[in-house]
Copies of this chain bind each other. A is one copy, B any other.
Amino acid sequence: MSINTFGHLFRVTTWGESHGPALGATVDGCPPNVPLSAEALQHWLDKRRPGVNKNTTQRQEADAVRILSGVFNGMTTGTPIQLMIENTDQRSRDYGDIAHTFRPGHADITYHLKYGNRDYRGGGRSSARETAARVAAGGIARAALDHLAPGLEIKGYMVAMGEMTLDRSRFDRDAIDRNDFWLPDATSAPEWEAYLQKLRKNHDSVGAMIEVTARGAPAGLGAPVYGKLDTDLAAAMMSINAVKGVEIGEGMAAAGLTGTANADEIFMGEDGPEFSSNHSGGILGGISTGQEIVVRFAVKPTSSILTPRRSIRTDGTATEVITKGRHDPCVGIRAVPVGEAMMACVLLDHLLLHRGQIGENQGHIGP
């Protein structure tokens, strides 16, 4: 794991700025003989593509991904897979006026201080556009998981956006793909939309909380201590731009629970151990239990807003900043497929790690 790379055996390095010629991902360590095509990856990219609905940025990017290496005759070869997405609708003129101004809440000031050099046309590396590369890489992970863990199903959705929060009593998994908010409650989606459009008209933006789940993940993934599955999932989600918090299972709420309330009691089911509850989020001691894996992360409100905020210029003089351009009023919406992609990458990586060190699970439960 290094600065722009994640993963142990299935390693993803993303590269590229929002307004350079292209961006992409270098994916090393994929198993061979996984059927893979640009079309299959495009399916996932289209889920996060901007310009699709009025609740996301109106930037029109084709986000067409090309596979430059590592696939031959429609199958992975086991060598590095290079994914490239060309930037086609950059309109970098929108950004000329911020070359010497630091937008509050943005990485402008920290990049300037650290590097003394930044691609000020948009967010550079900290742009939400970087996540397109992750989604494409996640598509590769999903294709490999289809072979290695056939029953695995990864699903992300929104659970909160500003004042709106999901009423879990109305949770409807089938609704998720049928509204613009990936909301598991189709009946509430219009209310969320009205709320968001009002914020947008007020030149404001809003944060969001996303939950990503994996059903059918085998028990035994992860490891103690620094290889905890929780650790890698936390790092994966926190590495997404604008994410400021990550939790597993009960998460932060675990601080308020007692040990009797938090214990997931264990029973013997027909196919192995079962649990009375899932406070652990499917992970005990860093290792998956076989239950549903549950991760949540919070995305801060889009920092690019039309409401003026006080700031300074590189020469230290004071100014006010209004961030024009085409920005998501809630960048969290597009973080849903990104979170799914990160879950896919982490699970595949841990499947490979587990197979490498151990082969098959070692412990039997039963007579």
Residue A341 interfacial (CB < 8 Å): no
Q: Establish whether residues A238 and B231, one from each chain, have CB atoms under 8 Å apart when the complex forms.
A: yes
Give min CB distance, A186 to chain B, whole Å: 21
**Stretch of A39-47, A50-58, A174-182, A352-360 contacting B (4+ beta carbons < 8 Å):** A352-360
Give min CB distance, A267 to chain B, whole Å: 7
Residue A192 interfacial (CB < 8 Å): no
Q: Establish whether residues B246 and A247, one from each chain, have CB atoms under 8 Å apart when the complex forms.
A: yes
A15-B69, A17-B70, A225-B241 are known; give 15 further A-B pairs, CB within 8 A: A3-B8, A4-B28, A16-B68, A17-B69, A72-B118, A114-B363, A126-B225, A130-B225, A204-B258, A230-B238, A234-B235, A245-B251, A259-B307, A266-B311, A356-B356
Chain B residues with Cβ under 8 A from A117's Cβ? 32-33, 72, 75-78, 362-363
Chain B residues with Cβ under 8 A from A106's Cβ? 284-285
Question: Once bound together, how far apart are the Cα atoms of A290 and B245, in whole Å?
Answer: 20
Question: Given contacts A162-B257, A254-B301, are A266 and B355 in contact (CB under 8 A)?
Answer: no
Chain B residues with Cβ under 8 A from A310's Cβ? 265-267, 276
- Binary B-proximity of A258-299 (CB < 8 A = 1, otherwise 0): 111111111110000100100111011111111000001011
Question: Once bound together, how far apart are the Cα atoms of A251 and B243, in whole Å?
Answer: 8
Question: Given contacts A284-B107, A298-B255, A307-B260, are A363 and B112 in contact (CB under 8 A)?
Answer: yes
Question: Given contacts A26-B13, A115-B78, A254-B207, are A33 and B362 in contact (CB under 8 A)?
Answer: yes
Question: Once bound together, how far apart are the Cα atoms of A123 and B77, in whole Å?
Answer: 13
Assign chain A's interface to a size class: 35 or more
Please give me the residue from chain B that is nearest to A16 by CB atom: B69
A-B contact pairs, 28 of them (CB 8 A): A2-B29, A2-B226, A2-B227, A14-B80, A15-B70, A17-B70, A20-B72, A23-B69, A32-B362, A33-B117, A68-B84, A104-B266, A107-B224, A110-B288, A112-B363, A117-B363, A204-B260, A206-B258, A244-B254, A247-B252, A247-B298, A255-B332, A259-B307, A260-B309, A265-B309, A316-B366, A353-B356, A355-B359
Question: Given contacts A72-B117, A262-B207, are A79 and B33 in contact (CB under 8 A)?
Answer: no
Copies per complex of this chain: 4
Please give me the residue from chain B that is nearest to A300 by CB atom: B254
Question: Given contacts A80-B15, A244-B281, are A114 and B361 in contact (CB under 8 A)?
Answer: yes
Question: Once bound together, how far apart are the Cα atoms of A301 and B280, in whole Å?
Answer: 11
Residue A208 interfacial (CB < 8 Å): yes
Residue A248 interfacial (CB < 8 Å): yes
- Binary B-proximity of A11-35 (CB < 8 A = 1, otherwise 0): 1011111001111101011111100
Q: Establish whether residues B285 and A110, one from each chain, have CB atoms under 8 Å apart when the complex forms.
A: yes
Q: Establish whether residues A362 and B265, one from each chain, have CB atoms under 8 Å apart when the complex forms.
A: no
Chain B residues with Cβ under 8 A from A84's Cβ? 68, 84
Q: Establish whether residues B68 and A367, one from each chain, have CB atoms under 8 Å apart when the complex forms.
A: no
Question: Given contacts A220-B110, A281-B244, A357-B78, are A256 and B15 in contact (CB under 8 A)?
Answer: no
Q: Establish whether residues B4 and A256, one from each chain, have CB atoms under 8 Å apart when the complex forms.
A: no
